Structure 1
Amino acid sequence: MATCAYLSTEETTNASRVCRLLLGPCTDEFRDVLRNKVPPSTLTHTLQQSIRTGNSPRLLPNQRDLVLPNCGQYTGNYDDMDISLLYTILRNICSLPPPSRGWGKNPDPSDRFVSANIERIHLARNQCGHSSSSLLSNSEFSSIWKTLRLAIKNLDNAFITDYAKDVDFLLYETMDPIWDLHYQEELRKQFENDRKTREMLVELERTVEDNTMRISKTEDKVQEISVQHKDKLKEWKVECSMYQETHSFPSMMEKVKTKHFVTFVGVSGSGKSATAHYIALKLAEEGYQVVPIKHIKQIEEYSDSKNPQVFVIDDVVGLLGLEKAKLYFLTECQQFIENPCMDKSITLMTCRENVFNEALMNPYESFFTKEENVIKLHDTENALDENDKKLLFKKYG
């Protein structure tokens, strides 16, 4: 029986996930870069030239077997080469300018050239490959993943590839598909063996079809929004009757009107929600339909292509800490938020400062942290000045 020391944990999953990233998208990115620099048909000639000039890269015997035509394993196909051999060839025979700090050294954070990104991936591979442990803490995993994703993204931009999406996929991909299929099959058997459940599902489908024929999709959405949100807007109006506009309010309102989405960031009690609600009600006076939502996916459900809307969601990626599931769904809705079906529509989101900072450190980069779309209530330009404090004291004193 296995001991507890070898049980799967979040740390072992972190290490396995990074290995999949290095052996998958990172290696394939290297292969595509090499194909761009040295087509497979010319590799032998290029290597022979480097040998004649004395600049031949140092290759291990098994590596020479893959690149020299007089060896048994040579296929002339880059798909047979691992990340170590690919790095050696890219570094030595592709005429790439070295990183600003040189090959084999940790690149300067500001260095975004091809060689620097190749070096970042190579160093991450060495760190994981030479580690004596099969564990990666969450902080180590976050740092390595963020570094690798940025390197892949930069190489994507340079060589018109698209491996960043594969990096994002692997971040949440299941690590044990066999057990996933097992649970799915067990659930399917339960439904098949439950005759009453099947009959209920058939009846439910029939009811849905009947309702769809009687009520149009648009009318259904309008009715649902009206029923669910009427009381919520009444509460906002009562709360916002005591709202005091500060000196920075006009600039905040101007930013909201020029962006499709804005994220209000501040500590608990700083007025994030109050400001978002107040601005939403101001926009309602200009003809906007205010739609409070609890889940970001409801934006797709309630979107109206004919009327301008302002969607409002509080604590968009978590209340006490960053919730990865909410961050994932937010990213899934990026297209609807950045390019709403009604061009004038706006999404207002609130986020606690500690959660926002945690999102900035997360390897899964999210659009909602873009500086041009963020209003930080404690920034110098938005913090209360002396006149604001006097007005607040007068109103509440």
Structure 2
Amino acid sequence: MSLSKYESTTGTTHLARIARAILGPCMDVLREVLANEISPPDLEKKVKTYVPQKGKPSISEKQKRIVYGKNYSAFDVTLLYFLLRNMCSIPPHKNTWGQDPEPTDKSVSANIERIRILRNEWYGHGTDISLSEPDFERKWNHISQIVKELEGYLGTATKYQDSLIKLKTCYMDPDSIQHYIDTLRTVERLQTDVKNLQEDVEEIKSVKIRKESQIEKDIFDQWQQEDSCFISTKAFEEIEKIVKSKNMVIVAGHSGSGKSAIIQRIGLKYRKQDWTVRRVKKVEDILDEYSSSQFQKDKTICVFNDPLGKESFDEILNSSWQTCEEELKLYLRTAKLVMSCRNHIIYDNRLTRYLVNQSHIINIDDKKRKLSVDEKRQILKRYTSDMNLSDKERERIVEVERYFPLLCKLYSSNEEYKNKGVGFFTEPITMLKEEIEGFRNKDKGKYCALALLVLFDGDLCVSDLFAEKDMENKFKHTLKLCELPENTTPPAIRDSLNSLKDFFVKKIGDTYHFYHDLVMEVTTLVFGNDYPIETIMYADIGFLRKRVKLGDCDEHDDPFTICLCDRYIEQLGDRLYTELFGERLLDVVLNPCLRNDKVIKVLKEKLTDHPEHLQILLETKKLAINKQELHQTSKNLLLTKLSFLNLESKLATIPMNTETITIENQVKNEEIKLYSFY
């Protein structure tokens, strides 16, 4: 081939730079991902035990020898892709291995796939040996984004991104131009035929596949996505070391400070080491894992966000820790538990003494561990490297203390906030409120989607909206409330939720959740103030207990508390009265509004009007319990006898003539008799 073809045009130099980027930083970052996933000795062992299915072997003898040489720098892109896909625990992207990933998919597997596609794009091109300026810029930006996201997953430096910056402008002599183009065009094409790439490495992964349900895989996929921009800080490094030696660790901090990101990353790291990792939502989930036949002694870790409540200290959750204390001690002898908790909750004087005495609590917002200015700069750079922020703006941003990691993430995910600049970081709550209020007037579909998420307590599966009559009625009422046509379908709501992903909402499996507690708190505040009656009627009874207050809010209240005036007492009394006869009795009894004289009056009047209901309240609910389970939590009881005794002094009372309505419990022989009201 004539050398002049490479010397004469800018286009050939563009193509050579792309070749260097693919064969250099792209392949090197894949090698580092592989090294992060599996060590050379473990890789050799897995390859030797890998039994391909019938047909053409998925890895050649030559490739096996390269693997056994344990020199990752000798692995070409074909071998790297095969090993990352088949020998590691990297979840497949949404469109599965071997297929083009969705443009918005930032998962590790999606970016590995993109490098494979880039490599194959130039294989066998006989005449197309140059790139126009626009095509070069587009492809270069694409490669830069891939490398950035993979380095974010690694959580290390930005050396490959820095290499790309240099490669884009460095001098290239004619010989090197020809060399890189020829190398890119002649290396054996990476095969993606499923017959040649066996996906089922059953002998290696069968145990993990049996253990992880689809929802668990979806959760870990979400964690991986959120982890892609994680920056390792001094606080994280300290916590990581402590978790190795302590079996119960609580990461404390303010909302938006990165607590969840830290414990999720720890969970992902242990998962790579073949530990059983469980995301748990209540204490009983931990005990279920411990009693499971698949429990791995000394190789199990549970990850628990907000074990004592999010917005406020939760008496019911705290009581469950007391109830399960003995069983938890047994679990913690051979397994780990890492949790996140807000500062004002973990230091509440009502906290179960067991948690205080037995756990190692690390406050990531204290003077010793809070984010340094340099760490903030790194986090900001990770999220805003492609934005035109001035040095002055960046210095003002890193002065922000509250919600800093979260705000960087939200800022990078929303074009409107990018235009707000520093203002978004200094007034985030105001900005969020204004956008939600803007949806109410300008984009009713999005406002309705968020309203439904509020009314379904941040846990909305769109396909279930017509599963029950109550859910259907709530859905239709919300459509009317938001001034949407009554024939609006659930798929239309799904489209609105999808348009809010990675900022207001996140999707795990088929279920939508608020992206973060801060987003949830601001959204519920806006909706609760806009539509207090609907909030009273349809919101979860636990939400009403924790977030709704009667009277004026003062400076000592939580800024996200929904304060109702006296005009709503009748509706609130009606809702509480109805819930007295439901399954969530304690959420009624512990509701602070039940101490309000006017609410008590509403309940008394209703009981007077319906004396037959009083007999229902006075009925003894008799629940049999096995003698061996007497001191354990029963799945048929909200709380055990000890929990009721502990809560007895805290339960609200409702005077009614000469009678007092309260909760008592009585233990006799092997039975618990729970008197709802006596």
Indicate the TM-score class for this superposition, using the shorter chain for normalisation.
Answer: 0.3 to 0.5
TM-score by length of 2: 0.26
TM-score by length of 1: 0.43
Structure of larger gyration radius: 2
